[in-house]
Amino acid sequence: MCSQNKGIWYNNPDCSAGGKHFHSGEHLKLSLPYSTYGLDVIASIGRQRQREHKQFVEIQHHLNKQGVAINDTSVGRLYRLFLALMSGRANAVRSCKL
């Protein structure tokens, strides 16, 4: 077996499970499915963009200094994801008040 991102890639041709990818249940608490970055990174991008009015390149540089390997295109994609998550939260809060 070898570790690969947030799961285990089981590579044993003699086993019926050979070639399958198993995800850790714990990582789903910290990141979205099919996402390379955790919710903490998404929240950080949203905070820096919304509160500090930083450009994507500035956010990228800040995250790179923190040890997060990311490019400005991914920052933009994750910011749009942040907005979608916040929109869903706002809709849920509004529907609870009705």
63: closest CA among 82, 79, 41? 41
Percent share of the chain, pLDDT over 70: 58
pLDDT at 6: 46
Where residue 68 falls among pLDDT bands split at 50, 70, 90? very high
pLDDT at 12: 54
Q: What is the pLDDT of residues 13-55, one digit of tens each?
A: 666 655 555 556 665 666 777 788 989 999 999 999 999 999 9
Q: Where are the alpha helices (DSSP H) in the chain?
A: 39-50, 56-65, 72-97
* 3 state SS of 73: helix
Structure-block tokens of residue 12? 């044993």
pLDDT at 33: 76
pLDDT at 94: 53
Which residues partner with 22 through β-bridges? 8
Q: How many CA atoms within 13 Å lie on the side-chain side of 30? A: 11
pLDDT at 1: 32
Q: Contact 14/7 with Cβ under 8 angstroms?
A: no
